Amino acid sequence: MIGPRSTDSLFQRHAALLCPQTLLEIRAQFQLDWWGYHGVEHWSRVLENGLTLCGEVPDARPEVVVLFALFHDACRENEHRDPEHGHKAAALAVGYHQRGALPVDATGLELLVEACTGHDKGLVSMDSTIGVCWDADRLDLGRVGIRPSPRFLSTAAARKPEILENCLNASLRGEFPRRLSWGTPEPCL
- The residue ranges that bind Fe ion (CB under 5 A) are 73, 137
CA dihedral 158, 164, 167, 170 (to 10 degrees): 180
Q: Based on CB atoms, which residue is closest to Fe ion, 63 or 73?
A: 73
The minimum distance between CB 56 and Fe ion, in angstroms, equals: 20
CB of 72 to Fe ion, least distance (A): 5
CB of 4 to Fe ion, least distance (A): 27
CB of 165 to Fe ion, least distance (A): 20
Q: How far apart are CA 105 and CA 151, in angstroms?
A: 32
Smaller CB separation from Fe ion, 101 or 144? 144
For residue 51, the minimal CB distance to Fe ion (Å) is 16
- In the complex with Fe ion, which residue's Cβ is closer, 5 or 111? 111
3-state secondary structure of 68: helix
- The least CB distance from residue 38 to Fe ion, in Å, is 6
Q: Which is nearer to Fe ion, 48 or 73 (CB)?
A: 73
Rg (CA), the chain: 15
> CA 9 to CA 1: how far, in whole Å?
10
Q: Give the dihedral of Cα atoms 112, 134, 132, 162; nearest 10 deg.
A: 160
Is 42 exposed, middle or buried (CB count within 10 Å of its CB: 0-12, 13-18, 19+)? buried
Nearer to Fe ion, 71 or 96 (CB): 71
Q: Which is nearer to Fe ion, 9 or 117 (CB)?
A: 117
- What is the widest separation between alpha-carbon atoms in the chain? 42
**CA 46, CA 153: separation in Å to the nearest integer?**
14
